[in-house]
Amino acid sequence: MRLFVAVNLPETERQAAFDAAAPLRHGGLPVKWVQPAGLHVTLKFLGEVAEDRAAAIGAALDSAVATARPFEVTLGGVGAFPSSARPRVIWLGAEIHPALELLANDVEKALQPFGFEAELRPFRPHVTLGRAKQGTRAGAFRAFEALAGRVAYDGVAPVASVDLMESTLHPEGATYHVRHQSFLGGGR
């Protein structure tokens, strides 16, 4: 199964972000857009993992976040990786909050004994709004900057848990299922 670790946004925040991003979705960009239920902040992508390892990974995440206290992260601003001229990912920004960086680092350390390699790139928290379609021609994103400027969104997301997510790929996009939820501070 295909797994990743994420901070899921509350339903109201997911819908508000999705609604605010309408100018991008209606701008004719060659992008496969993420549906509201799929909006989250990825902390660590694990890839293909044997199903019998999920419980142990969940327990490691429980330990990793047991002493962390819940906090809030602000959301806003739109950008693209690697660039707005030739994006692969279009995203909504998430605050580079020290507690979120520590949480990502704790998750990274907790999963190293399972053989997951450490991420070499700096942690750039974001919510993926869409991914560019394969084979997109040069110049297809000329309107991106103007469209992004029309997205007016400032949100706040509580961070009270870290979720082990299963991703199932379909032609119309991925669907996500929470396999395990680890509550910050050991709470519920």
Q: Is 40 a catalytic residue?
A: yes
Q: How many CB atoms lie within 10 A of CB 153?
A: 17
Residue 113 phi/psi, 5-degree rounding, is -60, -15
pLDDT-derived band at 173, boundaries 50, 70, 90: confident
Instruction: Spot the catalytic one: 126, 170, 177, 180.
Output: 126
For the entire predicted model, the pTM comes to 0.93
Residue 172 has pLDDT above 90, yes or no: no
Radius of gyration of the chain from its Cα atoms, rounded to whole angstroms: 17
Looking at residue 171, its pLDDT comes to: 77
Instruction: Spot the catalytic one: 26, 40, 97, 180.
Output: 40
pLDDT tens-digit profile of 74-99?
A: 999 999 999 999 999 999 999 999 99
Residue with the bigger pLDDT between 151 and 136: it is: 151
